[in-house]
Structure formats: structure tokens, C-alpha cells
Structure 1
Amino acid sequence: MVASKAQAAWDELNERQRTYLRAFLDEDQGLEEEHRHLGATGRWGKAPARVWRRIHLTGRYAPTPRRLRSAGVWESGAGSTLAALADRGLIELGTNPASGLYALLTRAGRAAARAGLGIAPATRKEPWELSKWLWREMAKVARAGEQGLPAEELFGSAHLYLDAAHAHRRGNRPYLHSHRSFITYTPRDYYGNPYPYTSSKTVHHYRLTEQGRAHYTDHLQAYREFYPDIAAPDIAPTADTPVQ
């Protein structure tokens, strides 16, 4: 699909359909990142791309449905949106007895999403290189400083590929750690008036691990050349040491 055709395919979509295609592209690139990392560590699988690129759409915790649900565009009308994208040849839909409904982003769909989002076609990456969307999240954590990035601000399914708590997942790189802390606050009523007592809650922030900080420091200049539009501070904050 040439650039003009890809852009035209994007332009024909409504905002809801673009939201879906954007989410599909992000997970598709995450799956590619996972597959490439496995290969770099000598663990190539025999499954074809049509298998390992599947974007699962069934299950409460499947990353893409969860992201679309949080955007308020999943529960109602999902079927018609998926059908519209499939009819345009931007995705393919299938089912698996074990995992249920899944989608595959087609080459046309990948090209349309990249054209619409202004993303240059993918080039060959170094074995250590994170994809643009994962580097964007790493840089976001670095910009947050010593306090860390609120967990809810880490985008989409990035935690599956960067959070050390998911180190068992294929393709994960344990560059981030979720730090838990407790804060005390004064609850307020519907009108904003404070109650005469305090309460506490648990909050989570992402910080770089030692391995994550080393990766950031070693490859910062290269990433700036790869992705000059992503702001990344000169010095990464001190690494967080998880409590064993």
C-alpha cells in the first residue's frame, strides 16, 4: 500500500475506528518487539507470524480490549467497529477454541495506521532497541524523576513488556519496577467539604530498575537519533531497588 493510499484509508475512518486501529498497531508492535527479543536471545519459536501476531480480544484482562474499554469505546458497538475495519481489509478476524476471538493487523492496516499517526515505516532494529512506543514510556518514567510515574499514566500494555513483575512473560525486559506507597488524605463530600477525619490509600509509581537505568544511560544518544520527537532527560533518575 503506497503512502497516499495508506493515508486515504486512514482519512476514511471515523474517530472510533481510528482509536481501534491505533490500539491494534500498538499491540502489534509490542508482539513484534517480543518476537524480536526472543530471537535475539536464541529463542525463536516455530509459530508463523499469523499466530504470534494475534491480538486477543476475549478476556477481561486482554490488553487491547482493556485499553479500548478505558477509552469508553469497547462495551457498546465493538462488533460493528471490528466489522468495519475488517471490511476495509485493515484487520482480519478469527477465533481460536482456546482463546476466543482475535484480530490480525494486515499490512494495509499497519500502513494506514502509520500514515495516519505520522510514523515512518519500520526499519531493521538493533537487538537491544526498544520500539518507539516502549521507549516513549521509558522516557516518560525518566522525566517523572525520583518520585516515579503514576502507574495509571503508563500507556496501554507497556507494563507487560517493561515491568519486572511480568518478567515471566515472553519478551519482557525488566526495566521498570512498580513502587508502592501509602498516602494520607482528607476525604471530601459531594460539595467539596472536608470530613472530620483522614483516610489512606495505596498508590503505585513506576521507577527504573538498575537494568533499566543502565539501558537508558547506554543507549540514550542512539534513541535520540532514532526518535528525536521523544523528550528524554540527559540523566536518568536513581534506580529503584525492589524489596525482596
Structure 2
Amino acid sequence: MPLPVRVIAPSRLAALRERAGLSKAELARRVGVSTRMVFFYEKGRHTPTPQRLQKMAAALHCDVEELTGVRRGEERLVDLRFAAGLTLDQAVELLRRTCVGRDLCLSAPRLSALEQGRPVLGRNWRDRDVVGRLPTALAKIYGVPVRMVVDAWMRTRPDESAPVHPRRQPQRGSSDSAEAAWRSLNERQQVYLGEILRDERMTETEMWMRRTHHLPVPRPAEWRKLPLALHAPADVVGYTRLQERLRRKGVHDPGAGATVHALARRGLLVTSTDVVHHAEAGEVTRVRVEMTRRGRAAARAGLGERAEQQPDTPLLSEWLWGVMARVADAGPDGLERDALSGRAPFYLGVGYKNRSAGRPSRGFIDEVPVLAADGSHVVGYRWKLTPVGLRHAFEYLDEYRRRYPQVDTTGVAALAGEHS
């Protein structure tokens, strides 16, 4: 039986080796093979084992996907195994230690059939409840999130239903305690808490942009401490961004300190001070505020937002599902490239990942080139749903409608009708 392998692109290997400044002999030493074998790899005459492929990627300071040519967000089951550096036998050995591995009588031929998209025969393989436990076991031995295994499974086996379905849970609104905490505040305190939440979100976005541009990012425990005030004349040091927010709301005055301390006494904020250097004022004391989880929940309740919750595997958040719906609503022509800004492509777009050392995106949308009328050149790009993006949308449409009823899914439903 032919076993699935991931071949490396010879020209890609040579280019990456030269970029890393390594000779064939040095790369061979780091991988643990002969120089002649590296020569064979670069000529496409041999394919490295998963372990050697992983060592090669480490030596070249790249991802395994860069060697195999598989774009981020297009991984199949075999790619996840190769990225983990496991052979079929090694993966099966680990899986047979799990309950689901024993229930399915996992073997190398069966795992190979699963990875090749062929029917898998054997006891319990038609039991969806048993098979539905396998992605979690695979995720554990491959060291990836379960959603990556589910997405890879759906790419590998496109004619089957999704292996995992989310638990049905009632919608949760804001908790009674959060609403009670908000109602206990006077109008001024509510304005303060709401503006601090907005400033925290703006800071979070700024940290995200720094990360995507490979700039240093402080720990969340540090950047969540928002500058509130400097103990120096305002005509010398100016106002902090949070003070400017409060000034626009008409509540920044000598009573600010009392308001902040009242919020802190209720456990909604934590205040701290440090000393910073100002170009004109010299060393000045800075007051910072940090929202507690209770304060964040109270602010969300007061602003009419539902309690934050992580979507069940393998569902998207409401925000990302809304992005998918927008792309679907654009129809067969796709959505203008510039219509999607911010972080969405890093979570959904093929070829993206959400941070420098993070996991690949879901691969649910892709930038498709638009050719000129005569086909001579590319005039632009548009976002379209990928095949696995379409499958995900169709498979979980009813569940998304139940969880996120305010998201318009007309475009998704229309596509589902066309493909039914």
C-alpha cells in the first residue's frame, strides 16, 4: 500500500539553504545525513523522513510548510503529522495509547487510508460519535489546536461530513452580577468605566499591529495598565489619551481621582503608579488604571454587549463569522481586497498566520487575482471563500444562525443552495 508522503520542492530547498548561508555539507551535518543525500534532496530524487524534514526546517530557520510548498491554511492531515516529525508507525503507537485509538483499532494502514481520503474499514469507523473523538487525540499528539485537525480533515476528506460538531449550549447574556455592578454606579462612574474599556480595546489593537509588523510587544500584564494621568501641570505634559476621552465626555475635572478610587473600591479597577521621564517636566509620577475581569464584565453589560465566550470547536467567533458572511454575500465575483482590513485575514486568509510564531489561519478565504479583459495581466485581487471555507459554512450554518442570529447569512444560504 502506498503511504502518503510530503515531498519537498527541490528548488525551494536550495534557495532556503543559500538564504541560511549553509553549504550542503553543513546542512547534512545538522540533519544527520550524508552530503550526497542532501544533493539527492535538492535534485528531487529522495524525500526526507518526517523527523529529518523537521530537523531540516530547524536548520534552515523556516517552517516545514516552506519546504513542502503547502501554504498556511491549506494543511491536510498528512501535513500535520509531518510537521510534528512523526512517521505513521510513531503516530499510531501514540494513538493506540488513547481510548479512541483502541476503540478504532488504529493501525498504520488505517491511518494511511485516513490521510489519503480513502474509506477506512474496521470496527467503529462508521460510528460518528467514536470517530468524532479522534481529532482531539490527533491534535494532542501533533501539538496543534483541535480546529486545525478538523479543518485538515475536511480538506483531506471533502466528501464526508465534518468529524466534530459543537455542543449545543444556550445563549448566554450578561451575568446578573455584572449588570448589578453596573447599575450600582452613578452616571459619572459609568462613563469612566466605559471609556476605560474602549481605551483598553484600542490599546489591544495597537499591540496587535505591532506584533504583525514584528515590533516588540510588552506582556499583556504591562500594556493593560493604561496611563490615566501625570502628576505635573497639564500645560507642560499635556493630557493622556484616556484623559482626552474623558474630556470629550465632559467628566474630566478635579473629581477624577475620587471617581477612579470609587471604581477601585468596588473591585472594578486596579490603580498603580510609577515614575516616567518627560522631556520637559523631567521625572514625573504617572497614574495607571487596569480593568479587572469583574470591571470588564460590568462595562460590557452596561454597554449592552453579551458576555465574552470562546466559540466551541471548530466554530468561529461572531466577528469572524460575520467576515465570512460578507465574503459570501459578495457573490461569485468576490469581495474587494481593500474591503477586509485589520486582523481578519490573519485568522481566515490562506497564507497567513496570526503572529510571527503562531498557528496558521483557518484558510477559509483566499485572495484570487483578477485579470484584465484581455488576460494579459493582473489588475487586482478579490477575497473568495475557499472550498474548505464553503464546506465549513454549509456544515455549521444552522448552528451559526442559532448562536449569532444578528449576522446576515443570506449570501451563505444562497451559496449553499447553489452547491446542494
Normalised TM-score (structure 2) = 0.33
Distance 1:105 1:220, change over 3 A: farther
Structure 2 CA distance for aligned equivalents of residues 78 and 237 of structure 1: 53
Pairing 1:156–2:342 present: yes
**SS class of match (2:363):** coil
* 8 A contact 2:348–2:362 mirrored in 1: yes
Select the residue among 60, 80, 84 that pairs with 2:241: 80
User: Secondary structure of the residue that 2:409 maps to in structure 1?
Assistant: coil
**More displaced, 107-116 or 166-175?**
107-116
Paired residues of 1:10 and 1:113 also in contact (CA < 8 A)? no
Which AA in structure 2 matches 1:150?
Answer: E
> Would the aligned equivalents of 2:351 and 2:361 in 1 still touch at CA under 8 Å?
no
The CA deviation string for residues 22-41 of structure 1, in whole angstroms up to 9 with x for no partner, is 4567x6xxxxxxxxxxxxxx
Query: 1:181 corresponds to which residue?
Result: 370
Give, as a single letter, the amino acid of the residue that structure 1 aligns with 2:241: S
2:395 counterpart of 1:218: yes
- Could you tell me how far 1:227 is from its partner in structure 2? 0.5
Provide the residue aligned with 2:318 in structure 1.
132
Give the deviation of 1:79 after TM superposition. Answer: 5.3
Q: Is the aligned partner of 1:144 residue 2:321?
A: no
Query: Do the aligned partners of 1:224 and 1:230 also contact (CA within 8 Å) in 2?
Result: yes
Aligned mate of 2:300, from 104, 110, 114: 114
Distance in 1 (CA, whole Å) between partners of 2:350 and 2:325 is 17
Instruction: Tell me which protein shows more strand as a share of its residues.
Output: 1
Report percent identity of matched pairs. 26
Q: CA RMSD in A?
A: 4.7
Q: Of 162, 165, 178, which residue of structure 2 is paired with 1:2? A: 178
Query: Which residue is equivalent to 2:224?
Result: none
Q: Deviation of residue 10 (structure 1)?
A: 8.7
Give the aligned residue type for 2:346: L
**Structure number with higher relative contact order (C-alpha < 8 Å, ≥ 6 residues apart):** 1
Q: What's the CA shift string for 1:65-87, capped at 9, x where partnerless?
A: 9xxxxxxxxxxx995339989x7
TM-score normalised by length of structure 1:
0.53
Task: Give the whole-Å Cα distance in 1 for the aligned partners of 2:395 and 2:294.
Answer: 36
1:176–1:209: 8 Å Cα contact kept in structure 2? yes
CA contact (8 A) 2:325 2:409 kept: yes
Q: Which runs of 5+ in 2 are unaligned?
A: 1-176, 218-237, 247-259, 273-289
**Residue 139 of structure 1 aligns to a residue in which SS?**
helix
Quickly say closer, same or farther: Cα 1:114–1:16, change in 2 above 3 A. closer
Amino acid at match of 1:180: P
Residue 2 of structure 1, CA deviation? 1.6
In 2: Cα distance, 1:59 partner to 1:80 partner: 21
Mean alpha-carbon deviation: is it higher for 143-152 or for 8-17? 8-17
CA distance, structure 2, for counterparts of residue 205 and residue 117 of structure 1: 35
Read off the aligned partner of 2:329 and give its amino acid letter.
Answer: R
Q: Which has a greater percent of helix? A: 2
Shift of 1:153: 2.2
Structure 2 residue 378 is matched with structure 1 residue 205: no
Task: Give the SS at the match of 2:305.
Answer: coil
Q: How big is the shift at 1:131?
A: 0.8
Q: How many residues align?
A: 174
Which of the two has higher C-alpha Rg? 2
Cα distance in 2 between the residues matched to 1:137 and 1:215: 14
* Equivalence for 1:12: 191
Correspondence list, 1:223-238, <5 A: 223-233=400-410, 234-236=413-415
